[in-house]
Amino acid sequence: MAPKSNSALKIWRDGQLINWDDCNIHIMSHVVHYGSSVFEGVRSYETPNGGAIFRAKEHSRRLVDSCRIYRMAFKYSADEITQAMVDTLAANDLKDAYLRPLVIRTGQSIGVYAPNATIETFVITIPSSPYLGHDSISKGVSARISSWRRPAPSTNPTMAKAGGNYLSSQLAKMEAVADNYNEGIMLDTFGYLSEGSGMNVFCVKDGVLYTAPDAAGILHGITRDTVMKMAADLNIDVREQTILREFLYTCDEVFFCGTAAEVTAVTSVDRIDVGNGKPGPVTLKLQNQYLGIARGQIKDRHHWLTPVPQPAMAGR
């Protein structure tokens, strides 16, 4: 999801908006060697009233929580990070965009333990593009069960959205693409359903929505929470429980959800069709609700949208 031209974009770096090409770190930065970063993936959408960030406050709060888990001395509040996202979007005059708030350990240190490493914070924004392919929302995607497992709760803290946590996700995604699937689905250490390489998973059986619990090594996704709240609004029963691998082969619908993936149907798993091999009615209903609210076409009942002021017109 890289922009075609970076030169005109600005990046927020610890309170300053700087040119894209000037935003560099040293090769000896701690994050380069040990993956010591936490981040968020956030979306803004163009609405009838201008740009709006979807669930900015919740993403900002999770960023603060991730810093706490990884003992990173974070100097900003959640409200300040939300404002930084608004300012970055406004500075770049972007409405339909992807944002990446990022906190990293930099400095110049070669040891794992770096108590004096500098903590730097960035907000990056680029024009959005379909994460799983241009027709993924309308047609769905294929997935395979990955040979790579999610880490056990006592290995990496999966509640934190940390850069190093995505090394196994990279392997799962590369394995899936090499075998001509769109995406991988990972199991937990006990062999139960966990999540995709960078998104949560829901299953539908007899009109009931199922998803894996936090104990399955999942990231507690904000889009996952959104889906569960929308389901409650639509009187769809939701159950968090351990899910067997073979349940994916027998349920009526499966879908991914995440900031980048949005709500995307999984139409086959391990080359076995899910349902009739097409996006199902529950998936489509939730997808329409999600995109409708995000784009300002359906009432924002939960106050999930943070408006982005329009840049001032020249000469006014």
Query: So which residues are the catalytic ones?
Result: 161
Q: How far is it, in rounded angstroms, from Cα 155 to Cα 162? A: 13
The secondary structure of residue 162, as a DSSP letter, is B
Q: How far is it, in rounded angstroms, from Cα 260 to Cα 143? A: 16
Torsion of CA 168, 150, 69, 304, to 10 degrees: 90
Q: How far is it, in rounded angstroms, from Cα 290 to Cα 224? A: 11
64 contacts 32 by C-beta, under 8 angstroms: no
Beta carbons within 10 angstroms of residue 55's beta carbon: 22
Q: What is the DSSP string of 250-285?
A: HSSEEEEEETTTEEEEEEEETTEESTTSS--HHHHH
Considering only CA atoms, which of 305, 302, 250, 299 is closest in space to residue 272?
250
Considering only CA atoms, which of 69, 67, 68 is closest in space to residue 101?
67
